[in-house]
Amino acid sequence: MATTNDIKNGTVLNLDGQLWNVIEFQHVKPGKGGAFVRTKIRNVLSGKVVDKTFNAGLKIETATVDRRDYQYLYKDGDDFVFMDTQDYDQIHVPAATVGDAENFLLENINVNIAMHEGTPLYLEMPASVVMEITYTEPGLQGDRSTGGTKPATVETGYQIQVPLFLETGTKVKVDTRTGEYLGRVND
């Protein structure tokens, strides 16, 4: 058991049998009345974000979450297989837990997986990844000056918007949070 004074970003709380990850917190001491802690928390399983206020000093139950580095190996049916980079144990993570991160999972990429009592809760991807464009319409002469974009498919099959002058085979940097094109990468 902990108190609301122990809340920090990244703390995982066990509220009514559900796990919630603290995204933001703020200790508030108003001029009148008791102090309280205002939090923004995300449900670990559903991803739902809610605001919750706790009275200061209130006893809360925290969950032990182990975050470790894993390397993505391959997809096995609906599961994704990862290898622990320290002891080389392999774990299977269901597609529901991987979620949108599937669009950016390249073989041998390192990710951080949060585990609670042996169950994978969620993946933390690197902020950006370098991917190769596997298909896009050819660019036309003079496309470099306009600010337009076109769809391009990257090696995971995910489709992003890229500038008109990029061609198939070009390596690009992609933001894993938004799926946005960040720039061209020279070999």
CATH number at residue 40: 2.30.30.30
Listed residues 10, 44, 60: the one ending a domain? 60
Cβ(165)–Cβ(139) below 8 Å: yes
pLDDT tens-place string over residues 127-152 = 899 999 999 888 665 555 567 788 89
Q: Looking at the structure, tell me whether residues 176 and 141 fall in a common domain.
A: yes
Structure tokens at 179: 């799926």
Q: Looking at the structure, tell me whether residues 142 and 175 fall in a common domain.
A: yes
Structure tokens at 94: 């269901």
Number of domains in the chain: 3
* Residue 162: Cβ within 10 Å count: 21
Domain containing residue 116: 66-124
Q: Looking at the structure, tell me whether residues 107 and 134 fall in a common domain.
A: no
- How high does pLDDT run on average in the chain? 86
Q: Looking at the structure, tell me whether residues 8 and 51 fall in a common domain.
A: yes
Q: Looking at the structure, tell me whether residues 35 and 72 fall in a common domain.
A: no
pLDDT tens-place string over residues 95-122 = 888 888 889 998 899 999 888 888 888 8
- Mean local confidence (pLDDT), 55-80: 89
Listed residues 83, 104, 124: the one ending a domain? 124
CA–CA dist 97, 108 (Å, integer): 19
Write phi, then psi, for 49 (nearest 5 degrees): -110, 130
Matching residue, tokens 């559900």: 18
Q: Looking at the structure, tell me whether residues 7 and 28 fall in a common domain.
A: yes
Cβ(160)–Cβ(151) below 8 Å: yes
Q: Looking at the structure, tell me whether residues 54 and 72 fall in a common domain.
A: no
Q: Looking at the structure, tell me whether residues 98 and 111 fall in a common domain.
A: yes
Q: Looking at the structure, tell me whether residues 104 and 74 fall in a common domain.
A: yes
Kind of pairing between the strands at 119-124 and 110-116: antiparallel
Q: Looking at the structure, tell me whether residues 73 and 106 fall in a common domain.
A: yes
Q: Looking at the structure, tell me whether residues 54 and 6 fall in a common domain.
A: yes
pLDDT at position 187:
66
pLDDT at position 21:
85
Q: Looking at the structure, tell me whether residues 115 and 151 fall in a common domain.
A: no
Provide the CATH number for the domain around residue 177: 2.40.50.140
